[in-house]
Structure 1
């Protein structure tokens, strides 16, 4: 890569931090606000203090702010349960009580419930419960926590009898898989981490209370750069190790029979390595290995094989690909003689649930769902009972239980209240993108409101368009509060997401990312042309990769809308590889080291489009940034805000400390959502009903 650098005077004056111009592949690229990447510098701190003052002054003028906050708080004030997990004589689950900020890990039984772990024990409210996994006999639970939103936490093992740690915690984990060895093998588990000393990434075996003399054993080291390791144990016998390459659609898989080898030295045989495919394995009660896979199926299918012969040459297709829906999840349950497959599919954001015969894939029955929403994380119990999460736009997430052979669910726990949700109307239209591609757009409004095309109304248009992830219509208190206030909410199923399978993703990724931006622009134009809203009533909204998308659309078409809300966005696509987890995302966006990738990145990079777009009148923009964000570094919204302000645009930055990209206390989530939607209401003219 041709590269040179020179410092130039910063527009702020002689005493301000220096600006930078770099020559990349023969092209000068200005970066006048790179100094804002230095989080701890006095200049950055002073700049953030000024943005905080501006934001608070502006927020105090938004008429719907307190009303939206109150409504959102009411909508989330329900007990929120996780799926129950039964291990030995104990049942475990988390519950976030209606008035609580965090979920608590509970042990449930005939004599009531007992709290095993409560993040609220941190008086500062900075600790979050990221993951947990009980041992097979229910004697221990591995609990992962992090502090301040960094998602870099610790893994501790608690005794279910005392609730106390049984040893010192393991440091430096990040949403690690934990796979406990079965009974009879001692208290030990596999987990994933990056070793603090030599930077190796892989799967480790940990033995409880082994002491310094018996350190953890590395059983699989990742050899490729930028891979994310994973580990699972199937049926207490089969060890499965995975490596996901960045965040693209490639996962390498290996399997080892622990019945034939020591847990310290498993003999890992490849399932598939080097294939542009991702697969998720499960062991059925019939002893066969089932795989949900994109190998040979853009929208995924389910195949089966003997775990002793795991390579694709021995696979047999059981549930074929559906050309119009993505197979999201599956579970294998029942008994050895009566095995059953249950799969969830998503068709333009709405889930479908079906049960299939394990030999020929014949559909045994359609399983009922409460509405047009999202079913996720199906799990099977030993008696064939299927449990999963369900939510829709108006229904808070609940746990549904399907008894063996039945198609109608019941709620778990049975004592959970069932409030009557408002009726939300959903309609789908399609718009033509610049290259003629027909892009679906889903529009939500209250059923009690007027018909969608009768009268324009303030509308939020949301998009994500990244990493092959389809949009699913789960519960959002903020969306429902917006609808109840009289607005409309639309979702653009743009390329780069997973709504149309792998090709749909790839046609909006890498050098094709501009297609996702153009799809969003076409969606905005179609809402205006269709009478859903006027341009003055349209606000684009997206977070993370979606934040990049809405900022890029506004930079390319400043007249598209009245406002933009970009939460924890990517913005500087020339520097993204050097910030946060950006180096893991080159399969999604490309790399500046490649001349053609660089040209594509620079063409839509919001930060650089605004730097070159002086004289344009941009929409009003609200950016949010989180100081502890270790994914999309908070330097992105800081620099983007500075660039917009330098171009004369109205740009506000809502900046938070002690939180990151992931989970946060409910009260802080409510404040964030209320601020973002109150801004959108003020800029689009939404008035109280």
Structure 2
């Protein structure tokens, strides 16, 4: 996917694990960043030193013809699959040097904002401990350290039943903390370091973790003894982060083909060579990718093969992995299924053209064709994911653009499973909010979920599904005098060009914002892959809100906020609805005096970078400044090239331009192809050299052509991280520094940079 592109699964995956992974990954990678105006000054302080000319990329004519249409790409040479061409690297370094030079005059503001952001962070902290068998598992951060430690403590009374009031014992009499993995120690030898999977074996004796040291999302899996931390066997090289235990002595993992499509599933017996691993499944259709999920009962592992509209499922009995995979749901075009297990039944979430918002079925283990509908399809309620417990079924749904959790009671194992009982809905206090699943114990009545809103820091709740009692287990501490009561969140609705009502989530500090059109506003958008951008908290964003900014999210079509039709109406030959929705939201915010054109900044990342790239070609007069983070902007050229990672699987998202209708439609909005000689806002573009989701050459070409074509002298900057990928740098303080950099752009764009004292 572009945005969350090239993950080891399709974007509309509905397994609990994948749903949770997408939401967490998006929130951890999204940043509000914006670009500056050029040659602004406050007092005697020059904001943009002008004694350095911007880099000018060489023009090398490259002609492309299709359907009688000829396109000239003078910057095609910037694409280098090996990422080692000295001419390309030289150009990227020149762009970085130019960015550093123009930003040097406001380094004082950047450091001030960074100090603010870091000052809100409780650097030494632990996550909410999760009880799993005889241990509490959690992660810890240390003061001054970039990365996390993965830890555990023994449960004192192992035989006691879990309760929402359980707390992990600490203090001198508590069982000692055991550090399973210290990322800080592992990262010392690398400029980039991230853990993509951390999996404890069913018996709690081993840990398997996947590490990436380049940002290219090609992982190495290590297995260690949980007590001694000694290596167990040799690492598994060149794999994805999609990893599960088959039993206490075997792992199941996936690998990619030459275009980085997850295509093979492997079974690895500990202590054997990787070359001897058994290939459980090979997906040869390049429109499909494979991924893994394990049932909450830990008795079955599911292998899913999915395109953008079809998903079918195999299962592996973990007690008998040598038996191999068995078909659970057949491959039927347009039918999307995912599965889990409880007792003597499989539970299946199923979507089709008729049941576009999904239904939930059950079938006996010994007769998987005998399905019973447990939760029927509703046109007004979208079922996103399900989570099974020994006595309950938890359904994550969306209604009226907001997530909800509904809990059903299940009959005793062995009794007929022909209906659901109950239907308790979990209540939330904020008018707009974000809710994500979290890991919970299968043999328990305790549901754990993550909650936040634009004014409520990330919170972990344990919810007793029998009593309805909810207990806050952890809320992120925000230092520096933060008071959620100072902020107001609200939902507004804009009307798009075709009459569609588009939701907007808004937050601002109520004692600073005047709502008379003079307030600065940052509008964020995405709108692809059925991804939902729910209103969530970001502590660094306070550096904007506390300066009187309004922050808003336009929930445009192409996302999944309003159900499956919302997504369908923003893809393929309806993709332009995404752009016109966003423009309508911007115009609505101006009309209602949340801001003015002179105070409106916009941001989009990856597929959201396509969004902002398209709208500045369409309506450059509407925006003051723009940031395009790792933007997917060379749509037509990329989608015509099946050698680029996962292009083939994305023909169902964007269209196949080898067909004339799609070719000309995509050409009509592709940002690179629609740059014209007109005035543009101030623009900041970012990229990662090792990015495998959106190749660095796309934003590089976008900048080069803009610089050659646009008629204004507004600032155009390009920042390429040469040692990172799609999600930029890996350290938590490094990410805060990036936020400070982009917020400094906002200050510049709006002429809000204070003079040096």
Q: Do Structure 1 and Structure 2 share a fold, with TM-score over 0.5?
A: yes
The residue that corresponds to 2:306 in the other structure is: 244
What per-residue deviation string (whole Å, max 9, x for no partner) do you get for residues 114-138 of structure 1?
A: 2111221121342211111111101
* Structure 1 contact 431–439 (Cα < 8 Å) conserved: yes
Q: How does 1:128-167 map to 2 (within 5 A)?
A: 128-167=194-233
Secondary structure of 1:149's counterpart equals: coil
* CA separation of 1:198 and 1:93: change in aligned 2, threshold 3 A: closer
Does residue 85 of structure 2 align to residue 24 of structure 1?
Answer: no
Match of 1:116 in 2: 180
- Answer yes or no: is 1:373 the counterpart of 2:420: no
Q: Which runs of 5+ in 2 are unaligned?
A: 1-53, 155-173, 411-417
1:407 to 457, 468, 472: 468
The whole-number CA distance in structure 1 between the counterparts of 2:724 and 2:566 is 33
> In terms of mean alpha carbon deviation, does 501-510 or 442-451 score higher?
442-451
User: CA offset at residue 208 of structure 1?
Assistant: 0.3
In structure 2, relative to structure 1, the CA distance for the partners of 1:115 and 1:549 (3 Å cut) is: same
The corresponding residue for 2:450 is 389
**Map of 1:298 onto structure 2:** 356
1:470 positional shift: 1.4
Question: Which residue in 2 is equivalent to 1:92?
Answer: 137
Q: Which residue of 2 aligns with 1:55?
A: 99
Q: Is the 8 A contact 1:242 1:252 kept in 2?
A: yes
Aligned position for 1:68: 113
Among 438, 460, 483, the alignment partner of 2:501 is: 438
* Pairwise CA distance, 1:265: 3.6
Of 630, 635, 651, 2:697 maps to 635
1:309 matched to 2:367? The reply is yes
Shift of 1:217: 0.4
Partner of 1:549: 611
Q: Within 5 Å, give how 1:542-581 maps onto structure 2.
A: 542-577=604-639, 578=641, 579-581=644-646
SS at match of 1:142: strand
Is residue 329 of structure 2 the alignment partner of residue 255 of structure 1? no
Matching residue of 1:354? 406
**1:449 Cα deviation after fit:** 3.4
- Aligned-pair CA distance for 1:386: 1.3
Q: Which residue, out of 604, 608, 611, partners 2:673?
A: 608
- 1:4 maps to none
Post-superposition offset of 1:636: 1.3
Shift in Å at residue 193 of structure 1? 1.6
1:35: Cα distance to partner?
Answer: 1.6
- Among candidates 61, 65, 77, match of residue 35 of structure 1: 77
Q: SS at 2:276's partner residue?
A: coil
Q: Distance in 1 between matches of 2:636 and 2:563?
A: 28
Whole-Å separation in 1 of the counterparts to 2:543 and 2:334: 41
Mapped to 1, the partners of 2:407 and 2:720 lie a distance apart of 47
* CA positional deviation for 1:379: 3.6
1:332 corresponds in structure 2 to 388
- Equivalent in the alignment of 2:589: 527
2:25 matched to which residue of 1? Answer: none
Cα deviation 1:606-652 (Å, max 9, x = unaligned) = 11111xx12x1011110011112111111111111111111135310
Cα 1:81–1:26, aligned 2, differ >3 Å: closer, same or farther? farther
Give the direction of change, closer, same or farther, for the CA distance of 1:148–1:14 in structure 2 (3 Å limit).
closer
Q: Secondary structure at the match of 1:73?
A: helix
Further displaced range: 382-391 or 23-32: 382-391
Q: 1:376 deviation in Å?
A: 0.9
Runs of 4+ displaced beyond 6 Å? 12-15, 195-200
**Which consecutive unaligned segments of at least 5 residues does structure 1 have?**
1-11
Aligned partner of residue 559 in structure 1, secondary structure: helix
Shift of 1:538: 0.6
Instruction: Please give the alpha-carbon distance, in whole angstroms, between the structure 2 residues aligned to 1:640 and 1:197.
Output: 23
Partner in structure 1 of residue 336 of structure 2: 278
Displacement, 1:177? 2.9
Determine the structure 1 residue equivalent to 2:650: 585
Secondary structure of 1:18 counterpart: coil
CA separation of 1:14/1:468 partners in 2, compared to 1, >3 Å: closer, same or farther?
closer
Structure 1 residue 257 displacement after superposition = 4.5
Q: d(CA) in 2 for partners of 1:64 and 1:265?
A: 62
In the alignment, does 2:161 pair up with 1:102? no
TM-score for both structures, normalised by structure 1: 0.88
Are the equivalent residues in 2 in contact too, given 1:580–1:631 (CA < 8 A)? yes
Tell me the alpha carbon deviations over residues 20-78 of structure 1, each in whole angstroms, 9 at most, x when there is no partner. 12112210111111122134333323322221222112223447433332232233435
Counterpart in the other structure of 1:218: 279
Distance 1:91 1:555 in 2: 53
State whether structure 2 residue 716 is matched by structure 1 residue 651: yes
Correspondence for 2:249: 187
- Look up the SS of the partner of 2:322 in the other structure: coil
Contact 1:350 1:473 in 2 (8 A): no
Contact 2:304/2:338 (CA < 8 Å) preserved in 1? no
Q: Kindly indicate whether the alpha-carbon contact (under 8 Å) linking 2:629 and 2:686 is maintained by their aligned counterparts in 1.
A: yes
How far, CA to CA, are the matches of 1:289 and 1:15 in structure 2? Answer: 58
Task: Give the deviation of 1:402 after TM superposition.
Answer: 1.9
Query: What's 2:542 paired with?
Result: 480
Q: Give the counterpart of 2:192 among 126, 141, 144.
A: 126
Deviation string, structure 1 residues 282-315 (Cα, Å, up to 9, x no partner): 223x43222334345333343322233334x613
Larger CA deviation: 356-365 vs 378-387: 356-365
- CA pair 216-462 structure 1, distance change in 2 beyond 3 A: same
Tell me, yes or no, if the aligned pair for 2:359 and 2:373 is still in contact at 8 Å.
no
Q: Secondary structure at the match of 1:428?
A: strand
CA distance in 1, matches of 2:55, 2:92: 18
Inter-CA distance 94–594: structure 2 relative to 1 (3 Å threshold) = farther
State whether residues 146 and 732 of structure 2, in contact with CA within 8 Å, keep that contact through their aligned partners in structure 1: yes
Structure with bigger RCO (C-alpha 8 Å, 6+ apart): 2
RMSD: 3.0
Q: Are the counterparts in 2 of residues 395 and 421 from structure 1 also a CA contact under 8 Å? A: no
Compared CA separation, residues 200 and 626, structure 1 to 2 (3 A): closer
* Correspondence 1:227 to 2:288: yes
2:160 match = none
Q: Assess, with a 3 A threshold, how the Cα gap between structure 1 residues 655 and 77 changes in structure 2: closer, same or farther.
A: farther
- In 2, Cα distance between the equivalents of 1:400 and 1:125? 35
Change in CA separation of 1:341 and 1:14 when aligned onto 2, cut-off 3 Å: closer
Normalising by structure 2, report the TM-score: 0.81
CA apart distance, 1:534: 0.7
| Structure 1 residues 145 and 450: CA distance shift in structure 2, 3 A | same
- Select 2:512's aligned residue among 449, 463, 479: 449
Would the alpha carbon gap of residues 101 and 641 (structure 1) be closer, same or farther in structure 2, given more than 3 Å must change? same
